[in-house]
Copies of this chain bind each other. A is one copy, B any other.
C-alpha cells in the first residue's frame, strides 16, 4: 500500500535510504527448491554498481550482498529471502544546502509536500541507491526464469540523440556486445560516439537522456491476466516505476499510431507445427497475454537531473527565490546504469506472472 512492495505471488519489498546504514529487499513467494547462491545475485549487483567509466559516477561502492534468510543447503525453502547490502559511510554534509532548497527535476519538493519532512541526504529513498533492492531481487527472478528457459536482456539504443544500429537478433550476442562498452550499447560505433558526447556534456556541466530496449525470450504463451493486470500493463508499471523513466512502449510502441491495421497486425503462421508470427509489432503480447514470441519493451530515460550548472529553485524555509549548484560527481547519463535495473523489473514481472499462470485452469 505504501508502494514499497511489488508483485502479487512472487513479491518483493525494498527498504533503505542512500545515507542510512543499509539497503535491502525481502523476496517473498519464491518457490522452494530453487538453487540460489550469493554469486547469482552479486553478478547483477556488480553490473549495477557505478564504475570508473566515463558514463558513470566515480563513487566507489563495494555492494556485497548478504543473504540473511530463505536458503538452506543451497536451495530456496519457500520462505522469505532477505537480502542486505551495507551502505558505505557517506559524508552527508554536501547535502546540507538541499535541506531547504529542492533540486529541480528531483523528488525533493514532492517528498516534502507529501510527508511534511524528508531525509534530504542524497535523495533519501528517492536515491538511485534504492535500485540495489530491485536488482538483487531481479537476480532471484532471473534464476527462476532461467529454469524455464526464459532470458531477459537490455541495452542502450540511443543516447543524447545518437541512435544505435542493432544488427543482431541473438540475445546472447546482444548482451555480449552491450556489456563490452561503458554505455552498454551493442553498436560499437554508436557507443564510441555516445562516449564522446558524454565527455562533451560533462564538460558543460550538463547531462543526456537516452533510450533502452529490454527483450525477453522463451516466455511461454499464456502469461498475463486479461483486464487490469495485463502483462504489458504490469511491465509498464514496473518500468515506469524506475526513476527517470518517462515513457514505456511495447512492441511497435509509439509507431503504432502511424500504422494501418493491415500493417500492424502480425500475421499468424505455422512453423514446424507451431503457431508463430511473421512480424512482432505486438511485442509478444496480445490482449495483455503473452503469445510465445519475444517480448519487447522500450523505455525513454530523462537526462540526469543533478547538473553542475546553476539552476533556479525556491528556498522553502525563507519563502524566496533561490539558486542552486549541485556539487559532487553525478552520472551524466542514466541509461547505461539503468540497464540491469530494467532487466530486473521485467524479470520480476515475468516471474510473478509465470507463477500466477499456474492458477489459470483446473
Contact = CB atoms under 8 A, between A and B. Distances in A.
Contacts of A119: 72, 77, 79
A168 B65 CA distance: 52
A264 B158 CA distance: 17
Interface string A102-117: 1011111111011111
B251 A249 contact: no
Nearest to A275: B314
Question: In the complex this chain forms, how many copies of it are found?
Answer: 4
A237 interface: yes
B311 A265 contact: yes
B147 A362 contact: yes
Interface string A91-126: 000000000001011111111011111110000111
Contacts of A29: 1-2, 359
B268 A314 contact: yes
B116 A33 contact: yes
A172 interface: no
Contacts of A21: 66, 68-69
8 contacts: A34-B362, A77-B117, A77-B125, A107-B226, A207-B260, A209-B258, A267-B312, A270-B321
A221 B117 contact: no
A51 interface: no
Contacts of A288: 3, 107, 110, 241, 243
Contacts of A262: 206-207, 307, 309, 311
A183 to B, nearest CB: 14
A270 B303 contact: no
A282 B105 CA distance: 7
B115 A361 contact: yes
Contacts of A209: 256-260, 264
Nearest to A67: B21
Contacts of A89: none
Contacts of A69: 15-17, 20-23
Interface stretch (A41-49, A184-192, A350-358): A350-358
B107 A286 contact: yes
Nearest to A116: B361
Contact of A356 (B1, B81, B265): B1
Contact of A321 (B147, B269, B312): B269
A360 B32 contact: yes
Interface string A57-98: 000000000101110100101111110100000000000000
